[in-house]
């Protein structure tokens, strides 16, 4: 199937653009570059559009589930490949393509290794065009479909932590089991899950999201001056730099497979649940998930995820209104957004 063959240059753009769209989560830049490079060394990775598949063709989502700050995380290329195989063995129809769950430094290239090993193309429609904490937020509102059966295969961990398995059932129950598997695996598992038809993807995914990450990465990498990089990215996304200052009061706790915490940049308070959830200064809300909030190192211009923030570091914060992002239908699902409030102790829904 003819598509766009990924190159090292396009891969790097996808990773850096994805890192920005990760909004504080979505994995680490080095992991993304390493995964992308490995995929291109293994074989060819083809990016196709939703229009290159028939509406009834099945596409499966591939993802990493876990906490970015977990110390014992490990997922190999062989384990990633095994999840697609295990899912296909247990699923009733042929899987025609792979899709990633979200944009992020490591997640934009999710599926590239599996694509290189299986020969399956990657579809330019991540489940969500920005990173998000829960699996339900990346399930394209399948959680709202009565009697939808979720099929999920997972593998990860090294040595005594190594684990793999296949589960089927409701999205909530299967996702909870996969999340628990990630904890048992030392913090992370690779997952192949929830095969759906292309017609459904067209209506519910972030169609064109991978291309958006590549275009954003191109703008970011073209600029050489660190502050110009950050300004160029904010302009490209129709957002703005809301603060440049010193970090303090940083706290992070890994619980239930998530990184949860807060930090201050001068007077600006940021909360995160893997991804940044709120930005507030002197009682004024500057951004609320699923708006995109992202931190950058002012000396290098590089995006900094929530798990690598340290106190006394000079960073810039951007805020991009959700209206300017390519998002899944889940990002307007109030039931899913409501779950954020009890985790970060902030109001998320205002209507």
Q: Residue-wise pLDDT tens for the chain (351 aa)?
A: 668 999 999 999 999 999 999 999 988 999 999 999 999 999 999 999 999 999 999 999 998 887 666 788 899 999 999 999 999 999 999 999 999 999 999 999 999 999 999 999 999 999 999 999 987 898 899 988 989 999 999 999 999 999 999 999 998 899 889 989 999 999 999 999 999 999 999 999 999 999 999 999 999 999 999 999 999 999 999 999 999 999 999 999 987 778 899 999 999 999 999 999 999 999 999 999 999 999 999 999 999 999 999 999 999 999 999 999 999 999 999 999 999 999 999 999 986
Report the CATH number at residue 304: 2.40.390
* 249 plus 316 within the same structural domain: yes
* 204 plus 287 within the same structural domain: no
* 112 plus 174 within the same structural domain: yes
Range of the domain at 173: 4-209
- SS3 state of residue 299: coil
CA dihedral 202, 51, 220, 322 (to 10 degrees): -20
Give CB contacts under 8 A, 24+ apart, made by 1-4.
1/46, 1/48, 1/52, 1/121, 2/46, 2/48, 2/52, 3/46, 3/47, 3/48, 3/49, 3/52, 3/121, 4/46, 4/47, 4/48
* 271 plus 184 within the same structural domain: no
Entry pTM: 0.93
Is there a domain that residue 292 lies in?
yes
Count of structural domains within the chain: 2
């Amino acid at each position: 199937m003819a598509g766009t063959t990924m190159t090292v240059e396009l891969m790097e753009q996808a990773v850096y653009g994805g890192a920005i769209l990760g909004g504080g989560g979505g994995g680490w830049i080095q992991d993304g570059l390493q995964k992308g490079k490995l995929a291109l060394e293994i074989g060819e990775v083809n990016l196709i559009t939703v229009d290159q598949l028939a509406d009834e063709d099945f596409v499966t989502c591939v993802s990493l589930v876990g906490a970015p700050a977990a110390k014992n995380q490990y997922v190999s290329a062989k384990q990633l490949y095994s999840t697609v195989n295990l899912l296909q063995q247990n699923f009733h129809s042929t899987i025609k393509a792979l899709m990633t769950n979200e944009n992020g430094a490591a997640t934009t290239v999710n599926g590239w290794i599996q694509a290189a090993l299986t020969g399956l193309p990657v579809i330019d429609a991540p489940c969500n065009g920005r990173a998000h904490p829960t699996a339900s937020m990346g399930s394209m509102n399948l959680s709202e479909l009565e009697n939808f059966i979720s099929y999920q295969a997972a593998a990860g961990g090294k040595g005594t932590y190594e684990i793999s398995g296949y589960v089927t059932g409701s999205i909530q129950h299967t996702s909870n089991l996969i999340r628990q598997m990630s904890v048992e695996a030392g913090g992370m598992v690779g997952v192949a899950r929830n095969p759906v038809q292309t017609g459904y993807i067209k209506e519910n995914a972030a169609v064109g999201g991978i291309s958006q990450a590549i275009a954003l990465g191109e703008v970011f990498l073209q600029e050489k001056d660190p502050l110009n990089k950050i300004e160029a990215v904010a302009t490209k996304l129709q957002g703005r730099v809301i603060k440049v200052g010193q970090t303090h009061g940083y706290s992070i706790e890994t619980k239930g497979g998530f990184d949860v915490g807060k930090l201050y940049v001068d007077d600006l308070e940021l909360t995160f649940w893997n991804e940044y959830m709120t930005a507030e200064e002197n009682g004024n809300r500057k951004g609320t998930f699923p708006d995109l909030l992202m931190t950058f190192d002012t000396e290098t211009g590089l995006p900094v995820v929530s798990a690598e923030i340290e106190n006394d570091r000079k960073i810039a914060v951007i805020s991009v209104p959700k209206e300017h992002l390519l998002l899944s239908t889940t990002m307007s699902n109030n039931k899913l957004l409501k779950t954020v409030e009890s985790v970060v102790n902030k109001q998320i829904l205002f209507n």
